[in-house]
Amino acid sequence: MGITLIITALGMGFITGFHCLGMCGPIAISLGLSAENKFKFYSQNLIYQLGRIVTYVFLGFLIGIIGEGINLSGYQGFISIIIGIILIVFVLLPQFTHRFTGRIVVLDKLMIKLKIFLGNYLQKKSFASRFTTGILNGFLPCGAVYVALTASIAYGGIVESMYFMLFFGLGTVPFMFLAVLLGNVIGAGLREKLNRVYPYLIVVFGLLFILRGLELGIPYLSPNEASLQIEAKKDCCH
């Protein structure tokens, strides 16, 4: 696991927080946690966030199977370029993702049942229900999670994808924690403004993945075989 993976995943998770406030913020607000009991508020909030991250790591495991095959075939650089292009396409054609998932009848039915389960657990107040709510929330259709999963493939392995999604999840925590903390203070207008920033940041990440795939020999940013060996030596020394 390299420092580049950690920085990229955390960075993508952090900027995804802008999107999360707009899309998942209402769910977090619906938890109905009261700040009067500070221990219960912070602990249940964190348990909810942990549930989301567990789901992301699990999804990273599933998508990592694809990355493992790509790594073995030796096409990581090429795939990184393709993934960068896909990330940009996600931004330019957001309706494509919604149309694609909407046409999968089985997936659509599963999402309906998932939302029913989520609604039931939102009404419960136990620690277990908060954790389950987080897990279920992680499975909801989300363009930002699709982007992160797509990006994780570029790192070429099951373990790498799981780590990527772990740090991605951790990167989303600050904004999602604030969504619960601030509650209805975050109005629809503010959420809409934050959502407008997110696509531009994803385009930047798409360009970075394309640059990485070009293997220009720039350490960390666009490494080739030689610069990767330098990174490995530095990691070993530390």
Question: Is the per-residue pLDDT at 104 higher than 60?
Answer: no
37 in Cβ contact with 120 (< 8 Å):
no
* Share above pLDDT 70 across residues of the chain, in percent, rounded to a whole number: 61
Question: Is the per-residue pLDDT at 162 higher than 80?
Answer: yes
Element (H, E) at 183: none
Q: What is the pLDDT of residue 93?
A: 76
Tokens of 100: 């694609």
SS3 222: strand
Q: Which residue has the tokens 């490995």?
A: 232
Tens digit of pLDDT for each residue in 115-153?
666 666 666 778 888 898 889 888 887 778 888 898 898
Q: What is the pLDDT of residue 105?
A: 47
b (16+ CB within 10 A) / e for 29-53: bebebeeeeeeebeebbbbbbbbbb
Tens digit of pLDDT for each residue in 23-32?
555 566 556 5
Average pLDDT of 94-113? 56
User: 0.85 exceeded by the pTM?
Assistant: no
Average pLDDT of 44-71? 88
Tokens of 139: 């499975």
Which of 144, 120, 126, 116 has the alpha carbon at shortest distance from 52? Answer: 144
Return the amino acid letter for 104: I
In a 13 Å sphere around the CA of 121, the CA atoms on its Cβ side amount to 21
Tens digit of pLDDT for each residue in 189-198?
666 666 677 7
Question: Residues 204, 207, 209, 211: is their CA dihedral positive or negative?
Answer: negative
Q: Whole-angstrom Cα distance, residue 55 to residue 108?
A: 19
Q: Whole-angstrom Cα distance, residue 169 to residue 54?
A: 9
Q: Whole-angstrom Cα distance, residue 10 to residue 227?
A: 22
In a 13 Å sphere around the CA of 108, the CA atoms on its Cβ side amount to 8
